[in-house]
Homo-oligomer: A and B are copies of this chain.
Amino acid sequence: MSLGITYTKSGRALGAGLAMLLGSVAAPAFAEEPTLSEEAFEASKQLYFEQCAGCHGVLRKGATGKNLEPYWKKTAADGTVTEGGTLKLGQERLEKIIAWGTEGGMNNFSDIMTEQEIKDMATYIMMEPPKPPEMSLAQMKETRKVYVEEEDYPTEPLHGRNWENFFVVIERDVGKVAVIDGDTKEVLAHIPTGYAVHVLKASEHHKLEEPENPGRFWYTMGRDGKMTKIDLWQTPDKMLVAEVKIAYDARDVAVSGDGKYVIGGGYWPPHFAIVDAKTMEPLKVVSTRGTNVDGEYVEESRVAAIYTTPNEPTWIVAVKELGQLWQVDYTDLDNLRIDKINSAKFLHDGFFDPTGRYFQIAANASNKMVVVDTETHKLEAMIDTAALPHPGPGANWVDPNCGPVAGTTHLGVGTVTVWGNDPEGHPDQAWKICYETETDGPGLFVRTHPNSKYVWADQTKHPEPEVQQSVQVIDKETGEIVKTIQITEDEGNAAVHFEFNKDGTEVWVSKWNLKDSKEPNGQIVIFDAETLEEIGRIDGLYAPTGKFNVYNRSNHVT
């Protein structure tokens, strides 16, 4: 009796190899198979991981970027079949795309990879994607290192500084974070972390159960899955207190509201790990492989971002490829409650409204901002935006016409989109576009402060150096751009990311040295938040990007 079960056999040129694995025939590989030496294969695999996997995925099924499998075939709802793949595009066309980029948003890599690397990469992506290994809880436990024992933690700050106005700054390409005294502008430490830290999070004030000393402990997540714990009460040479690796590829981290757990999200393996916030001992792993909003199984369904909900004992885990936000209740790890909230693909980064109830996140490939009600654990709204919204830490303020609003920049276009976000006080404006402001170019970050009259937006994704090096300042009253500020004219440097100081009187902008990024040629440029005049610069930073003010981040000042 046939049970209707059929096993996939490759329909492409590499099929012979697979058929051999399946043992049916011992045919030789086809002559036209793309091949690389083992050395070139390994080098390409590593380069692909560093430069390509973020957008295309290690299994190359695509996300923000296109599918890069050797061969793919899709059947649409109406029965239309489309085929494609890197084998069809071929070596020459692939080399051109890699070198020059595309209008669809692909960067040009001609200045990042050598000619030979581009050639090999074109070949590599015509070959079957190798699948990286899994990582078990036991394996994670073996990676834990403690630099300062818990009993040696200080009971008060050892440096006598105003640590609530410290800034922790990502030094992207050297795998460090800098700690800067926001009062004196001194760089206190360059703390070793994982590679290319994407984000770091502190313990925050919480409505239900306050953590001990909010803002004291910071947790970083490297792109290599290494999480480190930083204690800002220590003397600068001892601030790194512990570390653990929870994935091979990762992006985000968050602390539970009670400060007891840290959660790290993996790109590969696609999972999240819950770690004891005191000891950094891994406690639990949860796979995020799942079925997406279209009802299709996704093997590489990655954790794009994780946030602590300020009013509930939960985290929001954004599972990028599923288009789902998983609200994870951390009150009982052995009976773990997860609400899988359907929204849209592909989820990226987000921020809360000022009440802490609504979480606003970009589904950037769907050109939407998604809003989750963390009180009901349900989808609240989806807002159509311009192309590829990317709010970063986001911005909330009060608009004279719409009441409370929030805004986002976009990766795809020079637009700041602003929507109402107060369904209780302003139901007619809630989750509707209030206005859009055109900027000079697409950017990554938007930011403001309750004490400031202005909203700042960067333009880091614009190809022209002059625009990339400039940020724009929007007046909250009018929604108009009141000033464009060129941070630098140095070749190979861009302006990126904003953070206010504790009082909201200063705005810190990164002068990001993309070129020679492992040298301390980056700066932080500080502006008077009222006059918009430059106050000064902090030198000696290695590729500074994201900045996190202790007070603002642990008090939900966005």
Contacts and interface: CB of A to CB of B under 8 A. Distances in A.
Interface of A: 1-8, 14, 17-18, 20-26, 28-29, 33-38, 41, 45-46, 49-50, 77, 127-128, 130-134, 136-138, 140, 195, 223-225, 245, 248-249, 268-269, 271, 282, 284-287, 289-291, 294-297, 332, 334-342, 377-379
Contacts of A378: 332, 334-335
Contacts of A132: 5-8
A294 B225 CA distance: 21
A71 to B, nearest CB: 13
Contacts of A8: 130-133
Contacts of A377: 335, 337
A265 to B, nearest CB: 14
Contacts of A332: 378
Chain B CB within 10 Å, residue with most, of A17, A248, A282: A17
Nearest to A1: B195
Contacts of A296: 134, 136-138
A286 B319 CA distance: 14
Contacts of A130: 7-8, 22
A231 to B, nearest CB: 25
B20 A36 contact: no
Given A4-B224, A335-B339, 12 more contacts: A3-B223, A4-B225, A5-B224, A23-B36, A26-B28, A26-B29, A26-B35, A137-B294, A137-B296, A289-B289, A332-B378, A334-B342
Contacts of A140: 295
Contacts of A342: 334-336
18 contacts: A5-B46, A5-B268, A6-B132, A7-B45, A7-B130, A14-B21, A22-B127, A23-B33, A24-B36, A26-B28, A26-B29, A136-B294, A136-B297, A137-B294, A138-B294, A285-B291, A334-B342, A336-B339
A23 B337 contact: no
- Of the listed residues A38, A248, A337, the one surrounded by the most CB atoms of chain B closer than 10 A to its CB is A337
B29 A20 contact: yes
* Most B C-beta atoms less than 10 A away, residue of A26, A225, A296, A297: A297
B6 A133 contact: yes
Contacts of A36: 23-24
A117 to B, nearest CB: 15
Nearest to A339: B337
A244 B249 CA distance: 39
Query: Lowest 6 A-B CB distances belong to which pairs?
Result: A137-B295, A23-B127, A24-B38, A335-B378, A5-B248, A7-B130
A291 B286 contact: yes
